[in-house]
A and B are shown apart, each in its own frame.
Chain A
Amino acid sequence: MIKAWLRPWRDRAFQLLALAIIIAGFALSSIILLHAELEQRFAVRTAEMLGGELTLTGTRAPEPDQRELLKNKPIATVVDFSTVLVHNDELLLVSARAVDDHYPLYGQMQTAQGRFDKAQAAPQGPSPGELWVADQVLDRLNVKPGDRLAIGSKELLLSAVIRQLPDQSAGFYSMSPRIVFNAKDLASTGVLGPGTRITYRQMISGDAATIAKLQDNLDATLRPDQRLEDIENAAVRSMGPLRQLTLWANLAVLLVAMLCGATIYLATSERVARRARLAGLLRSFGAPRRQIISRLLGAEFIAILPASAAGSLLSIGLITIIHQSLDWQGSLAATGVQWLTILIAPLVLWLAFALPRLTALIRVPAIDILNQRNKAKPLSTNIELTAALGAPVLLAGFLTSSLADLGNLLVLLVVLGAGLPALLWPLLKGLDLISGKLPLASRLALRRLSRRPALTLPLLAALTMAMAVIALAGQTGNQLLDEWRSRLPEQAPNHFVLNLFEKDFQVFNQWLDKQEAVTQPLYPIVRGRLTEINGVPVSQAVTKEKENRNEALNRDLALTEAADMLASNKINSGAWHPAKNTVSVEQELADRLGLKLGDKLMFITSRGSVNTEIASLREVDWDTFEPNFYFMFAPGGLAEQDITWLTGFWLPDGDGKRLAELMMQLPHITLLDVNTLLNKANEIIGQASGATALLAVLLMIAAVLVLTAALLGGQAQRGRDNALLRTLGGDRALLYRVTWAEFITLCGSAGLAATIIIFSALYPLTAQLLNDTPTLSYWQLTPLLIGIVVASIGVLASRGALNIPALSLLRDES
């Protein structure tokens, strides 16, 4: 039995076919698994931001009936409020959070043991009696871990420094440093009295069905101050760049599959040619069709199963490695349907590209044995074509979850599939016409190519597609990555300094010069609270519902003024500071508060009030590690206010001593360390970069596989021609010249066609589909590089045909 399984594997054509199945299976499975992972990551990220799949927020604790509904559910409770932290008669306004033992349900907290120590993951919040504080608290109160600090009437032991909370919003709009302590200590602090502004938040975790049911039940019980938020309606950043990258990845993977399909078709043709004699023999022995189907087709199918499984297993291995290296929790995210797809995707290719060919074996007539014909009659071209065209549609369906994406993908495929032969055929004919004037070797090579259009055209098309897509996907992918990278340049600021005064500049600059730190501009900061919109108090101007969703209200905001806009910002409407007393507002905040151009705003500051008028609405890219602001005033707009300064700088991670030196000299400043966030972002960029490279490599392998399969089919003819050339007096150098000329022409034409495609047809298509303008880059040279590699591989793979002895022509080997 095992022997029967292994027998086909001895044939080179079958090995090639199996390799194509493995590569296609690997590529398809990987993208499906990766897609599932990314979607889950996105959901988890949203859940991390929310703190759970569902959150119930209110200004008071939940009612008993609500508590009953939440009973026995995985739930974490936090209580957020503003309070004052006291140490040695020094006071500091802080954003306090009391957490229970279940917090956090999602994500990770990171803490450090000292001000400049490395961050470590903390599975649970502080124990009763303990307090965790943000870096700024250490700076502002001049305390260190081990000190005791008071919240209201309760003294707590400072036990760790907070580096990251999972549901911590980034940004600089809140000026109050964060502290975290155990909810069991909350009552004994005595700070929660009437008038204290408190947010109770229940974070619930659960599957979609449970959450939906709970949401329905809770909805009926909500008090006016309460609101529910789930992942769906959470305001989350769009998956824009990720979607674009996914579309390209899907196209590249689909092409890998199609190229593998071509390999499967060519290798199967060769295999059928080799098996036709056996089929004829079996027929002459009286074997019925059924027996031939089970003996030849069945054996072929069973033998291909391990290859099909191998591709999927390889991809599972790869995704598991990525899963672990990125420290993603839980098991692989693929759903049952996705696992089924992974299982059948390579077999779909086999069914579409191999089976129609293989059925020819059933129709080999016994008489062929007598007349030595042994040529299997293939199924009608229509059936083969339908199967070959149906497969990509089916696979594209496997890869995309949305009809729009599927449409885009198919449009790209049709353009490639129909446009390429139309483009390449004249090229081939042109080559044939000019070949008359070329030296013998080149002429022979060109005629080999131009006069076998059935073999050359698909091969040229395959190579052209591979080259064009590697170049375009590489370029688009890199463009996206570059964009991300530009937000995170290698020396992006990993520390921010707040509360810097003008008198500190000299000391601070001296320190920066000494460290050779990479610095950022200084931004003036004024703390202010938005109180009136067009003369109406905010509490009336903004509805309760809007306010609930808005953490920008009722707290001090960091206002700034600047002559120039930040490079990562974009004006959506209005003009950048047309007059002195104007302000530019972040678009999303403006939308939430219902602000529009021309609205008059009033802020209360420590020096009184600031009045201004909205002159522009700005789009802000919160992913950059630059300071971003909701309100940016025209220069001079904050002139009379108490100004402190904010800046960022880059220092190698973990250089605690140098930072300590700065803190000694300027003890009142606040230093923020964002290394943890920065490292995570860099890691993701690295992985995306690796994925692009892997796709390019897979495409290359697939293209080479097609070439090898095509060569395998034409090997006998090629060998005979070479032997004939030798018999007629051609030396070995001539054979090499012909072979090199053939592959250089093949790959050169493919490269030329790919370049034409890149610059003409697909270029505008990219712009339209990806909403992106492709730029010139070294990626345009990829067709050339791939051409050189593939031509060399072609010559190497043809070595066998170069060494066919001339004597073979005398033997019965025609």
Chain B
Amino acid sequence: MIGFLTLFEKEFLRFWKVSFQTVAAPVLTALLYLLIFGHVLDEHVQVHGVRYISFLVPGLVMMQVLQNAFANSSSSLIQAKITGSIVFVLLPPIPYGAFFLAYVLAAVARGLLVGVGVLLATVWFAELKVVAPWWTLVFALFGGGLFAALGMIAGIWSEKFDQLAAFQNFLIMPLTMLSGVFYSIYTLPTFWQGLSHYNPVFYMIDGFRYGFFGVSDVAPETSLAVVVACFAAVSMLTLRLLKRGWKLRG
């Protein structure tokens, strides 16, 4: 237990000590998205009867939760692997389950901190009410957990920073940007609507947004089932890789 707590604490401090870069910067990025898209579209678009700028805020919050949870676990592992400091966590008797939990929880913590930061920075520009706060929390936790576990897989798999960048740019970014952060999928042509249903991030964004407005493209129970199933599958894969020591123990 102490080993797990220490690893969690170390992972938390790792990003907290550079929080200007790991927390403040993504908040600023989200704020810029809001200002630009909000300025251009707010007077022209309404979604689910909600002003566009209000519709946009929960999507941006969730997008930053996911991207930062991924960034935390993946960057920590790749950096430790490349510098060799990974030995400090491989030599001690930390069970692989505790290893997984510590990395995932610290990454979720960063995601949530950034998410709260985005919410605090953007709430002044939009009329927001949270009609079902538990739904927002549950989606943020499971979505963040899923991306944290994905970040672990990416960090373990990658041997160079450019491999991790490829994972991030060609998988994570498209999945999050094309998930309905900036639009409702029902504004899309039929083909793209159908395709969006195969993107698990769509369910995270949609379910998270439900917590704010009480309306969504898909029933929140369905979205939660998809997100929890994906989280369980990716977690099991990550645990299996850790148990085998894949790319960590030669």
A, B assembled together: no
